[in-house]
Amino acid sequence: MSQTFSREFRVTLHDTDAAGVLFSSHLLRHAHDAWEELMAEIGFPLHQLIHSAALHLPLVHLEADYHLPMRHGDLLRMLLRVKRIGNQSLTIEVDFFHQDGTLAAHAETVHVALNPSSGSPCPLPAPLRQALSHYRITL
Amino acid sequence: MSQTFSREFRVTLHDTDAAGVLFSSHLLRHAHDAWEELMAEIGFPLHQLIHSAALHLPLVHLEADYHLPMRHGDLLRMLLRVKRIGNQSLTIEVDFFHQDGTLAAHAETVHVALNPSSGSPCPLPAPLRQALSHYRITL
Amino acid sequence: MSQTFSREFRVTLHDTDAAGVLFSSHLLRHAHDAWEELMAEIGFPLHQLIHSAALHLPLVHLEADYHLPMRHGDLLRMLLRVKRIGNQSLTIEVDFFHQDGTLAAHAETVHVALNPSSGSPCPLPAPLRQALSHYRITL
Amino acid sequence: MSQTFSREFRVTLHDTDAAGVLFSSHLLRHAHDAWEELMAEIGFPLHQLIHSAALHLPLVHLEADYHLPMRHGDLLRMLLRVKRIGNQSLTIEVDFFHQDGTLAAHAETVHVALNPSSGSPCPLPAPLRQALSHYRITL
């Protein structure tokens, strides 16, 4: 059964630019923050992985589509799901919804598993695969 | 009677730098975000003030002291208070506490009231002064 | 004949995170800054377009691939080209090279032309199409 | 004799917010970037100090005054000087000038010398003191 992971944020002054809307790259900060919260919730906080040199999960690809303006003061809901769990990589997707339920934006990030010592790709640990699988999209 | 306004945030990967700790200017983004939340809570959301051209409150001074490192994954509690309500300006202060209660940092920002049409300083509206006064420091 | 537009930047402490490398979304800030410089160079500075409400070119899609780590102190060269000039949109691509010539990252952004008054898509003005065409990729 | 260190930057869309001006904390990113460039120029690039664990110079205090709005497209000149060289700390100041020579903002940062192994304050190395002294303010 598929679970979603949901977080809200309000667009702050810092998020916006002189054109009056959220500046594109800030959306990806919010998406990354949500991913960090998911990883903490399932027992693999990124700061522990990095600090203990247990596993690195660098972002190797990202993409985003901006459908509607996000303005200062808007409340956005992020729905985060695991799109793909590969042998050595995973894909996270985040939908950003306005309060009226319209889709404001969509982002995807691909993370590859690296052995911090060797710097080489390595398999995703089984417990992490298992934990992530609860958030996998099932069609 | 004095009230405090409190918010928490966790130091995310984005907040940190290659020296392993929170990068200084990001603390001021968090302080500003907390101030925005206070303004919304007391009925003067910044985005409405800016959008309606009712009142601008640009930041004219800031200062911050960094007492302890803030690392990736640390949970910080912000305590926000109104330090001073002048005729045409106000001073906000934020203390940042680690979970063990130690003071990690302190920030202050001074905001001046501007008439958006003229761009000139103007008195702080009485209802705003009144609302802010509940968060004033009383010694 | 195709021209490229080239800019350099050094990865600063602010660009990096606790994992010791450039944080993903900052790359897109650099790509956007380079695009702003191109637009200024060809006579269409973004701040004038926005301020005069002549034309908006909001970003509607972005994607990026991260091939190699970019570390604090690294000097990166950005090569910017116009990948596509559509009727109402344009695609910019930026390659990021390390000093030894290896490709560190690649980013693409799609911008749509909007009439600021109506908020509706509109054709790219002919002089802008003409100016951008010099930077178009020719295979 | 006193030298100044000067750098220019143009206010980009990313630097601004929905109120149409540079967002306060971004000014401190620019000030820090200028300081990094000075340190590299005098032979003490920050990334080498951090990477080699030779010396840490964390920022322990910052303050800034905002005198004039800085808008999208504005060209700012930063003049950086060393205000104070203490035994275990140093103070950098940066003036930000508009093209017409008016002072837009002023920032100061205090950095303390830490031994990376012990985490304790340590004297500023003599060669660094010597190099910085050329940029000291002499009244």
pLDDT tens readout for residues D89-127: 999 999 999 999 999 999 999 999 999 889 899 999 999
- Asked whether C80 and C4 are in contact (CB, 8 A), the reply is yes
Q: What is the pTM of this model?
A: 0.95
pLDDT-derived band at D1, boundaries 50, 70, 90: low
Q: Which residues of B touch D109 (CB under 8 A)?
A: 24
User: Which one, of C34, A22, B18, lies nearest residue D23 by Cα?
Assistant: A22
| CA C5 – CA C98 distance, rounded (Å) | 16
pLDDT-derived band at C2, boundaries 50, 70, 90: confident
| CA B30 – CA B15 distance, rounded (Å) | 10
Cβ-defined contact of D25 to A18 (cutoff 8 Å): no
- Partners of residue C22 on adjacent β-strands: C16
pLDDT-derived band at A1, boundaries 50, 70, 90: low
Q: Which residues of B touch C25 (CB under 8 A)?
A: 14
Q: Residues near B42 by Cβ (< 8 Å), separated by ≥ 6?
A: B128, B131, B132, B134
User: Which one, of A94, A33, A98, lies nearest residue A65 by Cα?
Assistant: A94
Regions in chain B scoring below 70 on pLDDT: 1, 138-139
Cβ-defined contact of D32 to B24 (cutoff 8 Å): yes
pLDDT-derived band at C24, boundaries 50, 70, 90: very high
Instruction: State the number of CA atoms in the 13 A half-sphere of D70 facing the CB.
Output: 33
Q: Tell me the backbone φ, ψ of residue A51, rounded to 5 degrees.
A: -70, -40
Q: What is the pLDDT of residues B28-41, one digit of tens each?
A: 999 999 999 999 99
- Partners of residue A22 on adjacent β-strands: A16
| CA C38 – CA C50 distance, rounded (Å) | 16
Instruction: Return the pLDDT at C111.
Output: 98
Amino acid at C96: F
- Asked whether C45 and C39 are in contact (CB, 8 A), the reply is yes
Instruction: Render C28-54 in DSSP notation, one character per residue.
Output: HHHHHHHHHHHHHHTT--HHHHHHTTS
Cβ-defined contact of D24 to B24 (cutoff 8 Å): no
Cβ-defined contact of A61 to C66 (cutoff 8 Å): yes
| CA D99 – CA D10 distance, rounded (Å) | 11
| CA A88 – CA A102 distance, rounded (Å) | 34
Give the chains touching C; criterion: ≥3 Cβ pairs < 8 Å.
A, B, D
Question: Which tokens is B112 given?
Answer: 């001046």
Instruction: Return the pLDDT at B54.
Output: 85
- Asked whether C57 and C113 are in contact (CB, 8 A), the reply is yes
Which ipTM was obtained for this model?
0.94
pLDDT-derived band at C139, boundaries 50, 70, 90: low
The pLDDT > 70 percentage for chain A reads 98
Instruction: Return the pLDDT at D55.
Output: 93
Instruction: Return the pLDDT at A139.
Output: 58
Instruction: Return the pLDDT at D111.
Output: 98
List the single best residue of B15, B21, B23 to mutate versus C (max C Cβ within 10 A): B23
First to last CA, chain C: 10
Instruction: Return the pLDDT at D4.
Output: 85
Q: Tell me the backbone φ, ψ of residue C13, rounded to 5 degrees.
A: -55, -40
Q: Residues near B17 by Cβ (< 8 Å), separated by ≥ 6?
A: B23, C13, C14, C16, C17, C18, C72
| CA D63 – CA D11 distance, rounded (Å) | 20
Instruction: Return the pLDDT at C137.
Output: 81
The pLDDT > 90 percentage for chain A reads 87
Question: Which tokens is D115 given?
Answer: 């031994």
Give residue for tokens 């006064």. Answer: B133
- Asked whether C82 and C132 are in contact (CB, 8 A), the reply is yes
pLDDT-derived band at D139, boundaries 50, 70, 90: low
User: Sheet containing D75-85: which strands, arranged edge to edge?
Assistant: B5-10, B75-85, B89-97, B103-112, B59-66, D59-66, D103-112, D89-97, D75-85, D5-10
Cα dihedral D36→D40→D44→D50 (10° resolution): 50
Mean pLDDT throughout A62-68? Answer: 98
Q: For residue D68, is pLDDT > 90?
A: yes
Mean pLDDT throughout D29-57? Answer: 94
List the single best residue of A28, A68, A93 to mutate versus C (max C Cβ within 10 A): A28
Mean pLDDT throughout D52-73? Answer: 95
| CA B68 – CA A52 distance, rounded (Å) | 21
Q: Which residues of B touch D64 (CB under 8 A)?
A: 61-63
Q: Tell me the backbone φ, ψ of residue B130, rounded to 5 degrees.
A: -60, -45
| CA B58 – CA B89 distance, rounded (Å) | 10
Question: Which tokens is A13 given?
Answer: 């002054």
Centroid of chain to Cα A114? 18
- Asked whether B72 and C19 are in contact (CB, 8 A), the reply is no
User: Which one, of C57, C21, C63, lies nearest residue C39 by Cα?
Assistant: C57
- Partners of residue B126 on adjacent β-strands: none
Give residue for tokens 């103007």. Answer: B122
- Asked whether B64 and B107 are in contact (CB, 8 A), the reply is yes
- Asked whether A28 and A64 are in contact (CB, 8 A), the reply is yes
Q: Which residues of C touch D25 (CB under 8 A)?
A: none
Q: What is the pLDDT of residues A84-123, one digit of tens each?
A: 999 999 999 999 999 999 999 999 999 999 998 898 999 9
Cβ-defined contact of D58 to B69 (cutoff 8 Å): yes
Average pLDDT score over chain A = 95
From chain B residues 46-75, the ones with a CB under 8 A of any chain D CB are: 47, 50, 56, 58-67, 69
CB-CB: which of B17, B21, B71 is closest to C14? Answer: B17
